[in-house]
Structure formats: structure tokens, C-alpha cells
Amino acid sequence: QVQLVESGGGLVQAGGSLRLSCVASGSIRRINAMGWFRQAIGKQRELVAGITSGGRTNYAESVKGRFTISRDNAKNTVYLQMDSLKPEDTAVYYCATSMVLTPLARYDYNSWGQGTQVTVSS
């Protein structure tokens, strides 16, 4: 079993930046890929970015070029650097882990954090 705790969310003006962190504990040796999802009010949860144990990354087209996912295996932590934030980025952001080597969607992730709120004002 993996436990995940997110931090770093908050209120920021459009064009600003935030850095989210997620610390994993428990059965961390079973973790392969890690990722970030977000869910806005009235919308479906969507994959924002993912990273494999080997460092391969993928991003949603809406955040490509603005967000950067990274991981520090020594600290069991995954990060999401968010730059040039837009009001449409407002959502609850969730950290997740997967036993799959290269997950493609939500159903490939098996552990989830409680989420952290990101609000971008205009």
C-alpha cells in the first residue's frame, strides 16, 4: 500500500508560478510511474503529466511547454512545476502512482493523494 501527501497549492495571479510536491510512503518499492491529475468543478478528472521510473515524461497538450514534472527517487517525491498559469488551470490537483511501467490513463494508477487546491485569478 502506498500513501501520498500533496503540498504546494494556493492562490496565484495569472502568469504566476507554483510548485507542487507529493511525498510517497509505504510500499514505495512497488511504484513505477508517478503522475499528476487535476479536476475542475463540473469537469472530468484529467491527466496533467506523468513520469516513468526511467524519467520518460508525457504531458497534456493544454499544459505542454508550461508545466514540468520531475521526481527525486531518494526522497520518494514527485514535483510539478507550473509556470505561466492561466485561470483555466484552476482545479484540485491529485498525485498518483502506478505499478504499470508506462501508464496511459487514470485506470493505470492505483494509489491517490487527497489533492491540493490551485486557484489562478485573472
Given a cut of 90, whether residue 19 has pLDDT beyond it is yes
Q: What are the Cα distances from residue 37, in Å, to 74, 106, 122?
A: 23, 8, 22
User: How far from the centroid of its chain's Cα atoms is residue 64's Cα?
Assistant: 13
Q: How confident is the model at residue 1 (pLDDT cuts 50, 70, 90)?
A: confident
Q: Which three cell numbers stand for residue 89?
A: 488551470
Q: How confident is the model at residue 104 (pLDDT cuts 50, 70, 90)?
A: confident
